[in-house]
Amino acid sequence: MLKDKLNIDGCLKCSYCNTVCPVLKVRPDYPGPKKLGSDIERFRREGLSFGEDWVDYCLGCGQCSLVCPNQVGVSEYIAEAKAHQEKNGIKKIRDYVFARPALLGKMSTMTAPVSNSVFKMATALMPIGGITSHRTFPSYASKALRGSVVSKQETDQRKQILLFPGCFIKYNDPSLGETAIKILERAGYLVEIAQTGCCGLPAIADKKESLTDAKNNLLAMEDSVTRGSRVVTLCTSCGYTLKSKYTKLFPDNDRLGKLADMIASNTYDLGELMVELLEEGKLKLPMNTPPLKLAYHTPCHLKAQGIGRPWFKVLKSIPGLEVVDLDAGCCGMSGTYGFRQEKYDISMKIGENLFKAINENIPNQVVTECATCRMQIEHGTKFKALHPVEVFAQILSR
Ligand code: SF4
Ligand code: SF4
């Protein structure tokens, strides 16, 4: 059933998927999505091995699946192949931890700021664990995201929002979540923070864990979504997972399959909601914005949602703002990919176009929705990067 949904026989061999693959652009020896997609699945079904060493180099950006004219689940087949990979030694331990950001977040938040000092001091030793010493872990907040919770008796269902916080906002940057809540409340919404865990995307190569994450999250959101709440995400990877991944995970479980479909069709990126308000004339835009040049980067997982660039549209509507579309491709970070020692150089090479575009534009501020894109931009340039809602809130408060 899963395989049918991914259309294994639909490949036309047109190579369009190869033309958009960020890894193939910097590593011509990478077999590319055309070969690693449905081909690898066919080999595996015959008990043969093909390209297994390479699947780990896929960023999981989803661009190959997005452009495929025949809707072949190219990146999904590669993810399936990753899940079947045997890992040993230190990589196995590292990948186990990286697949569980909620566990790491919970422990690090409980022990912050000590945990932050320990991570900083241990940076030089990270290569022992297969992690690059060129980067530092983002610091953890000492309190996870908490906020207003809507009453279950509330009757105005249409205006209720269930905020899916995701691990980064919950444990590393709760103030970003609080900013979004303030903006949503200002626009008349009642916001409930979902009692969910990791979206499961980091555990894509750990099938059991990603299924557990997905199942727990679906059940945790069922009640609110059934009552009419819309699910809103600020993280493009969480949004991509809720909209496109959960629906393919439970082919043999009717209840979870239907719940996944319901949640997918009720999930929105915060920017989508802002555009909706803008188009309905309900979004109060700041009028006296001092001249400010913003450089906007589109995250791959926003592109993969097929919703355009809603925040770009909102920011462009603000008088006084100059918003440059960087249009420079993938940043190369892809969650923890850029933290892996063996992938660091590829990650930075992929990001070169973006770094160059930012440096050439000399903006006052870089904006992008994805937290790990922001990390990569700050690592590869001297510019700071913010989520668009932070810039929007800053302008409003002037
Ligand atoms: S874009 Fe789709 S149809 Fe074309 S080669 Fe890739 S998987 Fe096959
Ligand atoms: S998911 Fe991204 S990195 Fe992986 S094969 Fe497809 S385009 Fe390339």
Ligand 2 mean position, distance from CA 6 (Å): 15
Cα separation, 8 vs 81, whole angstroms: 14
**pLDDT at 151 (0 to 100):** 46
Model confidence at 276, pLDDT cuts 50, 70, 90, reads very high
Question: Across 119-128, 203-212, 299-308, which has the greatest mean pLDDT?
Answer: 299-308
Among residues 232, 258, 294, 303, which one has the least CA distance to residue 67?
A: 303
Q: Are 272 and 308 in contact (CB under 8 A)?
A: no
Checking if the pLDDT of 129 tops 80, the result is yes
Q: What is the pLDDT of residue 1?
A: 41
ipTM above 0.95, yes or no: yes
What are the tokens at 79? Answer: 């993810």
What average pLDDT does this structure show over 343-352? 98
CA of 36 to the centre of ligand 1 (A): 11
User: Ligand 1 center to residue 72 CA distance, Å?
Assistant: 7
Which of 19, 54, 78 for mutating ligand 2's site (highest number of atoms within 8 Å of CB)?
Answer: 78
- Looking at ligand 1, which atom is closest to the CA of residue 33? 6
Confidence band of 357 (pLDDT split at 50, 70, 90): very high
CA of 89 to the centre of ligand 1 (A): 35
Q: Which residue has the higher pLDDT, 51 or 275?
A: 275
Q: Is 71 in the pocket of ligand 1 (CB under 6 A)?
A: no
195 ligand 1 Cβ < 6 A: no
Which amino acids bring their CB within 6 angstroms of ligand 2? 20-23, 33, 58-64, 74-75, 78
Secondary structure, 3-state, the chain: CHHHHCCHHHCCCCCHHHHCCHHHHHCCCCCHHHHHHHHHHHHHHCCCCCCHHHHCCCCCCCHHHHHCCCCCCHHHHHHHHHHCCCCCHHHHHHHHHHCCHHHHHHHHHHHCCHHHHHHHHCHHHHHHHCECCCCCCCCCCCCCCCCCCCCCCCCCHHHEEEEECHHHHHHHCHHHHHHHHHHHHHCCCEEEECCCCCCCHHHCCCHHHHHHHHHHHHHHHHHHHHCCCEEEECCHHHHHHHHHHHHHCCCCCHHHHHHHHHHHHCEEEHHHHHHHHHHCCCCCCCCCCCCEEEEECCCHHHHCCCCCCHHHHHHHCCCCEEEEECCCCCCCCCCCHHHEHHHHHHHHHHHHHHHHHHHHHCCCEEECCCHHHHHHHHHHCCCCEECHHHHHHHHHCC
pLDDT band at residue 155 using 50, 70 and 90 as cut-offs = low
What's the pLDDT band for 152 if we cut at 50, 70, 90?
very low
Query: What is the structure's pLDDT at 3?
Result: 47
What are the chain's domains?
A: 2-83 (1.10.1060.10), 89-129 (no CATH), 157-272 (3.40.50), 284-396 (3.40.50)
Kindly state the average pLDDT of the residues 94-106. Answer: 92
Give pLDDT tens digits for 166-204: 999 999 999 999 999 999 998 889 999 999 999 999 987
Which ligand is in closest contact with the Cα of 55? Answer: 2
Ligand nearest to the CA of 26: 2
